Each structure stands twice: as structure tokens, then as C-alpha cells.
Structure 1
Amino acid sequence: MTNAAASSLQVRTDGSVGRVTLDRPRAINAVDHDMITGIAAALAQWRDDPDVRIVLLDGAGERGFCAGGDVRGLREQVLSGDAAAAMGFFRAEYALNAAIAEYPKPVVVFADGITMGGGIGLAGHAAVRVVTERSQLAMPETRIGFTPDVGGSWLLAQAPGRLGEYLGVTGGTMDAADAIHAGFADVLVPADRLGDLHHALITRADPQTPTEIAMLFDETPGPSGLAAKQVWIDDAFAADTVPEIVARLRARDEPDAAATADVIEALSPVAVTVTLAAVRA
């Protein structure tokens, strides 16, 4: 094993697996510009390295894989007059998300615990997306007056029925079963088996793919609560505009529908309108 750890990023090779661990556990591994460039550099280094066959992304600590971008740091940059630095972060982040999606080797992500916003940008476009019983996934940007980025609007658009519009507009959170149902994850592996899965990725030889290896540890999730709500979600979120969606929600008998209307009405009207249009586009 080789190790080249930075203060907030661990980069090393475990056999034929190139592993990057986000290492800001107190901040639930929120990514800053240095972490983004560090991950991108590791991917560039391993792209043509014949000794590295799989890339694994995971997070340090028990709370989550990645809570998103370092919003606090971005806010401080903007308030200090250095908006260009904040824009540089987004450019680098989006380029990294695209690189993961297009990477020529399988990228496996352990989306254990909280995985939101920028964490979805790292996990959602990987070849093998592993969730656990602790996973909480979301694109919560409308909660801060923003809209789903990091390729999130594309992921939301691929969700069954109108779930993408619902999740994008409300910023709602998915558990493991919901994430698999909505297309944000592939396999549920118990958190205490992630170490075993990591070992298997290192030791098992071809022709097994990382997906096949992960399936050896897969547990069938329970029923998706999101799927159970799909009838009223599909009905309400088929409306043309956000006010019409809210009106349809108010007309439903389900208590969760009325609660969803309350959530939407408390959010930025611009954010929810732009998000609805982005997902539909």
C-alpha cells in the first residue's frame, strides 16, 4: 500500500484499487477546492496506470460520505469580494463530476450516511453506487435558495414518474430503499460489511466486475416509502407550474401531500421554479 495523505484527503493504492477517502469528518466531509483538485489529480494519475483497475471513493467518520460543497467557505469568499474563487470551485467541481461519469475504469462509491449536494456529484455518477442502512441522500439546494447542480438535475430527470420533480423542488431526503428506487444508488450493503467489500474488491480477480462483487454483499432493502407515495406525487407534480402543483397537493387527501405543499411554500419561489424547469429540461 502506498499513501499520500493530505490534511483533508487520503489518496493511496490498495493492491489494484486506487482509493480516495474524504477526510473532514467534523464537517461530514464537505468538499473544498483543494479536495476537488486532489481527487481530480488522483483520477488523472490512475487513468492510464495498468496497476489500478478500480477506483474507490469513501468518507472518513461515521456521519456520512459527503454533506456537499463547503458552503460556508464559498459564502466567506463571496462576502470578502472574491467571487471569482467561488466560481473557480464550481468549475472544478463540475469538471470532476463529469470526469467520474466518463472515467474509463469502474468507480465505486460508498455513500454511507449523509450524502447530499456535492456528495451526490461524487457518488451519483459513479459506476457502482453503494448505500447502507445509514444512508441519507438528497439534493437539498432549494432549502438554501439554490437549484440542484453537480449533474443532479440530470439524475433527478431519470427518476421514475414525477419523483425527480418532487425530490428536486422539495429537497427531500431518501433512505437506501428510496435511493435505489429513484436511481441514485445501485446496491445496499450493511455498513459493517463495507470493509469486507473493500477487501473483496482488492482480492477478487477478473472476470468478476465490481458490480458483481458488490452484489455478493447486497441485502434487499425494505419497501421504499417514496414508491408508496408515487401515486399522489405523480398526480400533483404533473401540473405545469409550481402554484398549480401546490394547488393539486392541497386538493389531495393524503396528509403528506399537504405537508409537501407547506414545504414548497416556505422555499424560495425562484429556486423552486428554476428547479422544476431544469429537471424537465
Structure 2
Amino acid sequence: MHKKNDLIQRIQSSLPKLSKGQKLIANYILNHYDKAVFLTAAKLGSIVGVSESTVVRFANELGYDGYPKLQRALEELVKNRLTAVQRMEVASDRLEHQHVLRYVLQSDADKIKYTLEEIDEQVFDESVNAILNARKIYILGVRSSAALASFLGFYFNLLFDNVKLIHTNSVSEMFEQIHKLSSEDVVIGISFPRYSKRTLKAMEFAKSQNATVITITDSPLSPMTQYATYSLLARSDMASFVDSLVAPMSVLNALIVAISLKKKDEISETLSKLEKIWTEYQVYDNEDEDLNLTYSLNKK
């Protein structure tokens, strides 16, 4: 079962044994979890009138190994519920005394680091094999995740002849494109907070058709995982109303590279053919040719 309210359940079940000060913290979190998630232990203690050490003990009492783990659980609870305006307000608070460029780049680097530490390599390998053996590969991502789906679709179309990038201007149009799904197919669904209902509906349908469902999402608590055969988790965050897609992009890069290595001989032949077409139809700017032309003109 999808336990998106696990933190709330922990607090409610622990209430009878909490100290008076810890109950103040519990009540504040229950009523203001959207604000509590961004508070340090000292700040939270100050607001409710207890010491920082009381806040840390409260986290331990709930079964978390320190306050940062409690804060992470809070983040999982609230991030899908914050509006774009609230996320912008959060960003303003976080960036008030920091340089934006340094903060954002460091934050993105941290997300890749955490993703590397947490991702399951066996699940990744099994996902690669499922994709290689699929009759047809469907790729779906909407809103900001559409950029990720498009990126994956571009490279998969170089690697495979059986890829379909789903376009979702409407729910009915989406189902028209996936209604022939079977157990031989793979559906790759990409969604991050705030999770798309259209993507979730598609994953639910794919699972009902016994297709292999690979989800690219941010957390075991993501609603995407309930439909997944394999879940590849990549950290995302609420640095601002702009979604951070750096870690998910790295995971997709890894998928593309892993599959290209498995199909190395076939890919080399395909790329050789494409290179001839690109050259003949001048798809790319050829700097060497331009330099040679300039040199020839100067000689004249």
C-alpha cells in the first residue's frame, strides 16, 4: 500500500507517550507541516517554545535517526501539495542570504550525489534488459517532465525501431495512443512533484494490461511507484517553482549509455549511415569545412 501519510501516522500513534514539549512540536507539525518542513531544529523549537535538543529527541521518539531524517519525511509529505506560489516563497526564504548561481549548482550537484548513493543498480540493470527485450517501447512525460521524455525519445529512436513518444494534449488522446498495450511492451513513465494525474492514469492502465512499467520518479513514496514493475529513483527538490531535473537527466543518460553498449555493433552501423545523411544534407555546421573555405578564399 502507498504510505504517503506515514509521518502523520507515526506522530498520531506516538502522541500518548510524548512529553509536554514534544506534544507542542507534534501539534505544530500536524497543523503546519507545510511550514515546518523548511525549519531548522532550532527554529522549530523557538516557534513552539522548546529547546533544540527537545526537537531532536522528538525526531528520535518517532523512530527517525536525527532531525534531518524527520525533515526528509516531512518533505516527502508536503512537496506534492505545495502550489507554485508557495514554492516560490520557499525559494525566496532559502536564497535570501546566498548567491543564486552557487546555491542552485551546489544543490543540483547534491541531488546527483544522493541519487548515486540511493539508486538500486540491480533495478537499473533489470530495467535495461526489459527495454532491450520489449516488443514496443512507450515513453510518457508531461509538463516539465515532457522535456525528459523528449530527450529519452530522441536517443531511443536512434537505438530502436519500436519507440513511441506519447503526446498528451488530452487524456483521451493519450489513451488512443496506448490502447494496444500488451504484456510484451514496456512503458516508461516520468513524473516528479507535483505529480501529473495524466501520467498516473497512463501507468495505471499500463499495469492493468500487464505491460512492464518503468517509472522515473523521485521517491519510494511517489504515487508512480504503486504501478511500477521497476522504479528508478532520482532526487528532485523544491529549490523554487522551477523543477530540478538534473539528477533525473543523469539517470536517463545512464539508461541510454547502458543500452547503447549492449547494442554497440548495431548502433555503430546506424550512426555511420546517419553521419552520411547528416553530411549530405548539411544537418550540422561543419567547422572544418568552413575553415577550409575561408582559407581558400583568402588564398585567392
Length-normalised TM-score, structure 2? 0.24
Q: Which has the higher strand share?
A: 1
Structure number with greater CO (CA < 8 Å, separation at least 6) is: 2
Between structure 1 and structure 2, the one with the greater Rg is 2
State the TM-score, normalized to the length of structure 1. Answer: 0.25
